[in-house]
Structure 1
Amino acid sequence: MPIVKTTVIAGNPKAGSRTLDASRLVAEALTGSAPDQIVDVIELGPGLLGWGDDAVAAAVETVSSSDLIVVASPTFKATYTGVLKLFLDQFGTGDGLAGVVAVPLMLGGGPAHALAPDLLLKPVLVELGATTPAPGLYLLDSTYTTDSRISDYVARWGGVLTAATRVPAE
């Protein structure tokens, strides 16, 4: 069964960022088509600071009803951004992302934080109930469009991720 719904989530404090671009490229490489939905978290604005905002609730529903999500952040102070954390806080602990396969993706200026997707972002996604059957992906923000890191990742892990999104036959 093909992936039914793919969503990218970009947690960059700048709308329309390289983080968003990279997450789109990863989703397209994994599925062969553009993502079905895009959540550019910063566009949710002050609704992220509380509970009950309609736009935030709709974004949460979009993400939680996806089969595959690419959750992306630039590396800020050696971790993911606060704006992404505000968005992830909107999900219920343990089951908010149940049944969703997630790819943790982070971009940075150099290789010093290459383990950040696995050490920092992946555990949060798992805590929220996501399945993360492959390692996270770290990209250099200056070369992600010209190097082979995305295609290498998809060649190694694409089948695992695609298989994890399949719904078993009843």
Structure 2
Amino acid sequence: MLPKEEGQALNYITYGLYIVTAADGEKKNGLIVNTVFQVTAEPPKMAISVNKQSLTHAYIVNSGKFAAMPLAQNTNLAFIGRFGFRTGRTFDKLAGVPYQLGPSGCPIIQQDTLSYMEVKVSHTVDVGTHTLFIGDVTDAGLLQPQGIPLTYEYYHTVIKGKTPAGATHL
């Protein structure tokens, strides 16, 4: 465990907030993550970090695919909470949420998201409580091209959101 000052130093690393979805056969789920990043531009590769205890983690492991969508800054806390504070094991996170299936079979959430990237996993890295999934972008598109991405700082300071247990960020 880091001393308080060192732990607080990590708060200055910037993040966005994203919905990550996956499908395992007919089963579909999604969750909120703050660690999504582009690894290379050509060919386009991305990486995400997902808590091993999440249902979406299991679906990504089983299917080898995921979709990531940056949330819009004007996303309300109730919608964030639907994907970030509930488990797909006991609650259908996609019920009543507009989505389409992408070519990979992953749900592409149409509400409060700016774009989407579908990824085929090529590498995994075990980082303790989380897995880093790295893969090739197989499809991408714009959903709200004029929107502003939701940052983790905006989420905490303006929306007054909390960090859920199991999150990557301290």
TM-score interval w.r.t. the shorter chain?
Answer: under 0.3
- Indicate the structure with greater helix content: 1
- TM-score for both structures, normalised by structure 1: 0.26
Q: Which has the higher strand share?
A: 2
Higher relative contact order (CA 8 A, sep 6+): 2
